[in-house]
Chain A
Amino acid sequence: MSTFSEKTTVYQANDSSFPRELEDEAIYILREVASQFEKPAILFSGGKDSITVVRLAQKAFYPGKIPFTLLHVDTGHNFPETIEYRDWLVNKLGLELHIRYVADSIKQGKVKEETGKYASRNALQTVTLLDAIEEFKFDACIGGARRDEEKARAKERIFSVRDDFGQWNSKKQRPELFDMLNGKIELGENVRVFPISNWTELDVWNYIKEEELRIPTIYFTHEREVFERDGMIWADSEFINKSEDEVPYKIQVRFRTVGDMTCTAAVASTADNLDDVIEEILSAQISERGARIDDKRSEAAMEKRKQAGYF
């Protein structure tokens, strides 16, 4: 044993505020995906959760390469900072990235652009996603969704089987016992995989901090043109239909969750580092998805989107 001791570094798992067991669990899940499926992909949005998933995949197969391709469904309304980050990460890790555009689905007449004050392409993504799954023949799509985000998500399995139309059927979910994952499917079906199901928002931030991961700059405070609507701070952009009395002004904000510009609200913040961000979340009085405009549509908004094939 002595021959190995000199290159041994002590691993201090108990010294952290992040429960390392969550990482072990996620790595186990990702390794199952690599073995149980032919063509898995990571759904990558450039948000903190999918950044975490990519990190976990990197760890799961090291020193081998990540055996997944990345798929980004681009609504065309993304924050430029997120796109910039996406391209940087893909380049750094030497990953294969496929991008499919909601704009193309609109052009093909498959979906119709929403109109009015709350117009968003968020729900339209589903069609583009399902087309991409069919085009690339992906049999597993890995996503960064967490059960603490929303109550329909809290009911979904780690391996969530979707039918030919990408639909989630909550009544036909497979029981998941202990850590045994059953990814057996028929041709045409696919599985959505959620390796960080059991992580909370705080777990993700603590992980990002401990792993010293780079994240898009919009998660930290910056000056931005915003306006107020329904008690939330909206980032002003050409993609949002403002009414006359919605007058933009400049303040210091950051984003706590990042969808595209039409479905994500900002929070007033001066947090310019991870410690401050974590402190802010600890003392926050509003939940994370309280800043998601897409969830506010109805109580069952998420379940209905999932039934239609959303991730």
Chain B
Amino acid sequence: MDILRIATAGSVDDGKSTLIGRLLYETKSITKDKIEALESASKRKGIDFLDLSLLTDGLIAEREQGITIDVAHIYFSTPNRKYIIADTPGHFEYTRNMVTGASNTSVSIILIDARNGVVEQTKRHFYISSMLRIKNIIVAVNKMDLVTYSQEKFEAIKNELLEIAKQVSFKGQTLQFIPISSLYGENLVRKSNETPWYEGATLLDTLENFGTQNLELSTIQARFPVQHVVRPKTEEYHDYRGYAGKIASGTFLIGNLVEALPSGQISKIKTIEKFGIQLESGNAKDSVVITLEDNIDLSRGNMLIKVGEKPESRKEVNAKICWLDNQMLTVGKTYLLQHGINRVKAKITNISSVIDIKNMSLSNEAPVNGGLTLNEIGWISLKTASPIFADKYEENPANGSFILIDESSNSTVGVGFVE
């Protein structure tokens, strides 16, 4: 059984909660006691739809203010696969939470209220989904019941978004438009009779047919960051030395010629193991232990790659960055850069431009206030104390991102995408 990870974003009133609630309900992933509690709580609040936020707004602060602040994780499954929804707030003020929730997902559901059409928030969701290279975008045009299931209305929204896609979308990204009514369950799990003009699949069928991120990651160049060296030093495993880690991308086979980074030493894969079980190969996201034919210099934070597929050794890095902290990012400041599991010191050398995520316009000037503030996205350059072996994010998302840690607070303050 595989897992499909989905990002959703938006506010309560666009019907997102009802949509998720229905998916849970119709896949029998929510129990009766929870549905009943939801129904009565929704009624008490005087609303006529299922207010799922009552179920997912788990923090006192969220319930007090009636807003979603932090990412909620929602789980459901079909006989075919398990789904994890990272449900994030849609407001500009919580852009960082949206970026956080959407990292790791391969599908993004952008919800549009058919009455209102494309709004500022729609563009922002689309932009962030594309920035994270989320491959599958579903544009769910909701509340079709309130526009009498008008094909004209649907097509108009579709065309407007296709126009925006010309600037925002990337090659290989798929864009699917589905007319739905969450309230009545039209085209969610059941094909609607109200939209005879719509020939596409329902929302759930569309999800069921997507390939997973792992499958895709397995087809690109192989990267194996070493997390931990296993040396049992017991009688039975006297000379055993295994390299434990999760394969970031690609596929490794027994017998592959591999290079250790940064040492540059070459060896051959002897075994690929999982709890003593010998595998023939390991794919992206498999947590395995790899043993080599030779004793070479390889420890935590180092990387194993296949000979001839070496990523660039970078001491100077250009990246797009989303700032997550209240303390501004400024030129000259030093942070700890964590690339996968490897940490190095890094100094910001330049901020070249900032994107106005609120109005979706790019300024090619340096930022007015001298740095990047919370929720801002910009292009920066930095230099590292020792080289990192990163790929461009667009070529290998699993080896092309990093976080910045502020050493005075230990907080994670930024996320970067290598360019």
Contact = CB atoms under 8 A, between A and B. Distances in A.
Interface string B165-196: 00000000000000000000000000000000
Given A14-B2, A35-B227, A170-B61, A154 B72 contact: yes
Contacts of A155: 58-59, 70-72
Nearest to A200: B75
Interface residues of A, number: 69
Contacts, number: 183
A174 B415 CA distance: 12
A8 interface: yes
Contacts of B271: 4
Nearest to A181: B341
B277 A174 contact: no
B274 A178 contact: no
B56 A154 contact: yes
Question: Which of B2, B61, B227 has the largest number of chain A CB atoms within 10 A?
Answer: B227
B401 A19 contact: no
Interface stretch (B14-22, B112-120, B280-288, B354-362): B280-288
A176 B60 CA distance: 21
A290 interface: yes
A59 B275 contact: yes
Contact of B287 (A1, A27, A186): A27
A1 B255 contact: yes
Contacts of A17: 1
A203 B76 CA distance: 11
Contacts of A202: 77
B278 A7 contact: yes
B44 interface: no
Interface stretch (B154-162, B237-245, B363-371, B379-387): B237-245
Contact of A4 (B61, B227, B236, B278): B278
A97 to B, nearest CB: 21
Contacts of B275: 58-59, 62
Interface string A85-120: 000000000000000000000000000000000000
Interface in A139-178: 147-148, 150-155, 161, 170-171, 173-178
A71 to B, nearest CB: 22
B338 A63 contact: no
Given A177-B100, A182-B405, A285-B31, A62 B58 contact: no
A151 B255 contact: no
Given A59-B274, A60-B244, A198-B84, A174 B75 contact: no
Interface of A: 1, 4-5, 7-11, 14, 16-25, 27-28, 31-32, 34-35, 58-65, 147-148, 150-155, 161, 170-171, 173-180, 182, 184-186, 197-198, 200, 202-203, 284-287, 290, 299-300, 303
30 contacts: A11-B277, A14-B1, A14-B2, A19-B81, A19-B82, A21-B285, A22-B3, A31-B228, A31-B244, A32-B227, A35-B300, A58-B275, A63-B242, A150-B58, A155-B70, A161-B410, A173-B70, A174-B411, A177-B99, A177-B401, A178-B103, A180-B338, A180-B401, A182-B338, A182-B405, A182-B410, A182-B412, A184-B407, A286-B31, A300-B63
Given A177-B99, A198-B75, 15 more contacts: A11-B279, A18-B1, A21-B214, A31-B245, A62-B275, A63-B234, A64-B231, A161-B410, A173-B70, A177-B103, A182-B410, A198-B84, A286-B31, A303-B58, A303-B60
